Structure 1
Amino acid sequence: MKKIICFMVTMFLVSSCEEYEPSKDDIVNKHGNIINLDKFMQFVENVHQGKDDKIRIVAYTHEGDPIIQDLKYDGESITLKTDATRDKFGNGSINTSTCKSIKIEKTKDRIYYLLDGCDQGSTKNSVLVIWNR
């Protein structure tokens, strides 16, 4: 009986440590190395043109944990769902907000893509930062 319980506990621990496997369509940001950037740029263009679209951004923390952002544009507003449940050092929350648009801020070193006019007034509306190299 002890062996069965130990096996079940081990399987539970292993399954709770599963890694998130991004899909081939996800925009993946590993510390500035961005995969599928063209899909993000197309989303931004579609928002500016009023065309429905949706994307998923998977950004990794310094510790390697994924934070998932699902953005859906319906022709009028952007719904952002941020899933930080896999971030071992974060608060493990899932938050949703609705925003009016995406704005672009450029500095000497970076280009920031920020959601604007959000209902929750969050100061963390950055969805992607591209470093000028």
Structure 2
Amino acid sequence: MRKSMLILSLALMLLTACEANDPTTKASGITQAFPEIIEPHNPEQAEQSGDVVVLLEGIRNRDKWNTFMKNVKKKHQDQIRVTKYTIEGGSIIHELIYDGTAIQFTYDDSRDLYGSKQGMKTDTCKGIGTMKSEQGHIFYVLTGCEKEEDAFSISKR
């Protein structure tokens, strides 16, 4: 009887340890992983995956961005992937995970012909603000970032 209790206890500890190290569980408490990126990551596939897609001619899935912004303002946890496409058609992927106090930001330009090829970059930012360009366009930007202030922007309209 003692032996079975010991084995059961060990099994429970192992299961608990495996759950704690699950890579889909974020430190922020958000447990939903981003959808897998299907190659080639074209705008149609990105849109179907639920990404906010930024093209020269406009933004697709803008409603998802608006929902994310509302949740940030209410301090509710949320996450979003924004895929931007260059003139040449290369994709640059931004993943933002908001934990209720800060935004964990990941930037991946490895699919862009002119990207850095240095792999993913990450940063932690305090929030999202707005910035006006010289041409008068208003953009959402990440603010209070530990590394780079200009790593992400998306048109407000």
Q: TM-score range by the shorter chain?
A: 0.7 to 0.9
Alignment of 1:45-84 (within 5 A): 45-84=70-109
Structure 2 gap ranges (5+): 1-38
Q: Equivalent residue of 1:38, what SS?
A: helix
Task: Tell me the CA shift for residue 23 of structure 1.
Answer: 4.5
The code of the aligned residue for 2:155 comes to: V
Q: Which entry has the higher C-alpha Rg, 1 or 2?
A: 2
SS of the residue corresponding to residue 71 of structure 2 reads: helix
Q: Distance in 2 between matches of 1:105 and 1:84?
A: 23
The CA distance in 1 between the partners of 2:73 and 2:126, in whole Å, is 11
Give the equivalent residue in structure 1 for 2:40: 19
More strand by share: 1
* Partners of 1:81 and 1:96 within 8 A in 2: yes
Look up the equivalent residue of 2:123 and give its one-letter code: S
Deviations 1:90-128, CA, capped at 9 Å, x for gaps: 2123100000000023466422100000011x1423331
Note if 1:86 corresponds to 2:111. yes
Identity of aligned residues (%): 35
Q: CA RMSD in A?
A: 1.7
1:31 aligns to what?
Answer: 56
Mark the runs of 5 or more structure 1 residues left unpaired by the alignment.
Answer: 1-17
User: Is the Cα–Cα contact under 8 Å of residues 67 and 82 in structure 1 kept in the other structure?
Assistant: yes
Opposite residue 115 of structure 1, the aligned amino acid is L
SS of the equivalent of 2:101 reads coil
> Which structure has more RCO (C-alpha within 8 Å, separation ≥ 6)?
1
Q: Which runs of 4+ in 1 moved over 4 A?
A: none
In the alignment, is the contact (CA less than 8 A) between 1:112 and 1:126 conserved in 2? Answer: no
**Structure 1: which amino acid aligns with 2:144?**
G
Contact 1:26 1:58 in 2 (8 A): yes
Aligned to 1:97: 123
| Aligned mates of 1:36, 1:116 — CA distance in 2 | 23
1:116 touches 1:125 (CA, 8 Å); kept in 2? Answer: no
Choose 39-48 or 100-109, whichever is displaced more.
Answer: 100-109
Secondary structure (helix, strand or coil) at the match of 1:22 reads helix
Q: Work out the number of aligned pairs and report it.
A: 113
Q: CA deviation at 1:30?
A: 0.7
